[in-house]
A and B are shown apart, each in its own frame.
Chain A
Amino acid sequence: MDGKLGSPHAGLEGYDSKRRSVWCVSVCYCVKNEIIEDMDGKLGSPHAGLEGYDSKRRASALTKEHQERVRVLQNQNRFLNEEVRRLAKLRGQEHGKMRLQDSKVRSLEADIEVWKLEYISLIQSSIRFTGTDTIDDAELYLFGGDRHKDRILELLCEARKINPSLPTYEYLASGEVHVDCYGFKHHFEDDGLLLHYLCQELSQHFLSQANTFEKHQKNWLLYLKQHSKHLLAPRKELKALVRAGIPDPHRKQMWRAFVMAKVEDIVLEKGPHYYRTLCNSVPDSPTAARYKKQISLDLMRTMPSNVKFSTAGSKGIMDLQDVLLAFCIHNSSIGYCQGMNFLVAMALLFMDAQDAFWTLVAVTERYHSPAYFDHNLLGAQADQSVLHDLMSEKLPDLARHLDAIDIEISTVTLNWFLAIFFDAVPFQVSPCVQL
């Protein structure tokens, strides 16, 4: 009986009716115990047998009465137990319903985020281009006066509650410089461009709030947990994940894994202190001396709008110089080629100098053919020929059109290949393209 009564106790809190039943059950339990003790006392007393017939009859009547009470109590107990079970079942059902509702609300909320994103993208796309074809000269042209602007600012206000690192309109409008999460400085004189930038930031924010993004993050975490020993082994799964974008927190780890897989043999051959050794030999190296001038010219001209590379003598600039000079000694037949500065700077945004060095080695010697950056950029030019032929084959209409208006595709695409889209796409996109 104890067991029966004890077990439902556990899940009973929360409902009044249940609490009442519990109370009833424990009262019955107490009364019953008292009676049993009472009877025990009477039966066990040494004088019991001596009291004679009368007392025996009284005792048997008492026993009967007690048995009757026990029966009643047992019935009550049974009833209450059933009640408890019924309520527990109801509670379970309610729980399930709540869970369903919760997930519905969550998915509706995610939907709202997606709509916000769509709305912002729509406004963002309402850009009027003036004469000069570049994004810097675009104007944001909004119908309905300030209505959309106000709406954007409202959305921004809401979004800032979740992500306070988003800039405020007032801050940017007063001519202040906003530094984004990658360290790039932004400031605007034109109100339209400012709004466009805010839309861009909001899009990023809403994207990060969307259901799919959350799922994507979870998939990455799961992947990294399951394959921590051999990050690159499950090629197919990894490919799908990478193509959907490496989340910034994992970028360093993943880039490093990709790079090291490409240059493993060189690292093994040269030893773990190779990069340091190269850096130390820079002052005496004639190869380094040959390229030092060009590299120095380019140091401050590499991502000048990024806080990491905007001050002469800063760690970013020194790392950039060290890596480029070390590479000249490492591969004197390639030396330094403009464009490498951007590759290294991009790597340095996410990794330390030594990893950035190996990244440059991997890109110039493994991902690209070794002749890619040589003195005539032979490999790069060969790639352009291949691209041209591929285009003729796969996109004959486009190829004919470009021929007809006398445009050589490589004038546009050479940079795409050389600096891996660095100056060809908005910055947020380029780390995604690169790996």
Chain B
Amino acid sequence: MKALILVGGFGTRLRPLTLTLPKPLVEFCNRPMILHQIEGLVKAGVTDIVLAVNYRPEIMVSILKKYEEQYKVTITFSVENEPLGTAGPLALAREILGKDQSPFFVLNSDIICEYPFEQLRDFHNDHGAEGTIVVTKVDEPSKYGVIVNHPNTTRIQRFVEKPTDFVSNKINAGIYIFNPNILDRIELKPTSIEKEVFPFMAKDNQLHAFELDGFWMDVGQPKDFLTGTCLYLSNVAHRRPQLLANPNLHYVHGNVLIDPSAKIGEDCRIGPNVTIGPNVVIGDGVRLQRCVVLEGARIKDHSWVKNCIIGWHSTLGRWTRLEGVSVLGDDVSINDELYVNGGCILPHKCISTSIPEPRIIM
């Protein structure tokens, strides 16, 4: 089987992290985002993966080469010369996607969930139509475009953009499976799959909805990245609790993921919902909750961190307090005793005065 991952552009919504690493390589729960997707796809029998990208950074090429060998898959970059939207990249990759009659997966690279590729494949083969959209239920459908099925079937009837009256609470989860003949519907030009392809497929009765069980999150921006981390960790706690930090350790409170190479000081209280990357050093008396600490970061004694992403190799001084979705880029340092609330700090900055109100530090 084949798959196309829509990576797109520079991941500006996840800056300042994406100033250092391309978005697919930013670690989500201690593994590059794209690795979560590659593993899921390989498990469902995928052997050919196309990455639809606007640009091709060298670092991405070399890391993905490693994954190719490790997972025995072929990974191809399909580079757009101009942004082709959500459908155009399918046409650009038609040589690979259309090389045989087997269906192919398409997924948005910002989506985190328990990828249901195997069930999706079986569901798609059973109904026999041209395409399947994975849908997820949301609390506030009025913020999204919703999907309405024909009564008592999985067949999609129509799409309603930002409904004012309740018609459905199911939204497009950004994961699809298509038969290769969908390529006949798409030209090689900027095209939206949601607006310019799906409505016609629905009209032709060629589109079904597959309901996702469990959590789903678009983690394309820092606030949602943190929410997604919480959802993912609670899923891990159910499915593979052995991956989480031992809850009997005195400093562990709730779901916490700690890389074995990280060092934790005395008298810490860590969790819930914390991920700590490789070679991180946490001092004594540190309090961490609902935060992501990326590789090589150093958090000195008595600091307090909540709702933040601490970038690679960053340093927090003693008695610092960080909160309010602060995001530190690579190699940022915060001096002792400072307070940072909602600070978005670009790489390699040294901060010497408090940031009491949300602000971008260039």
Are A and B a genuine interacting pair, yes or no?
no
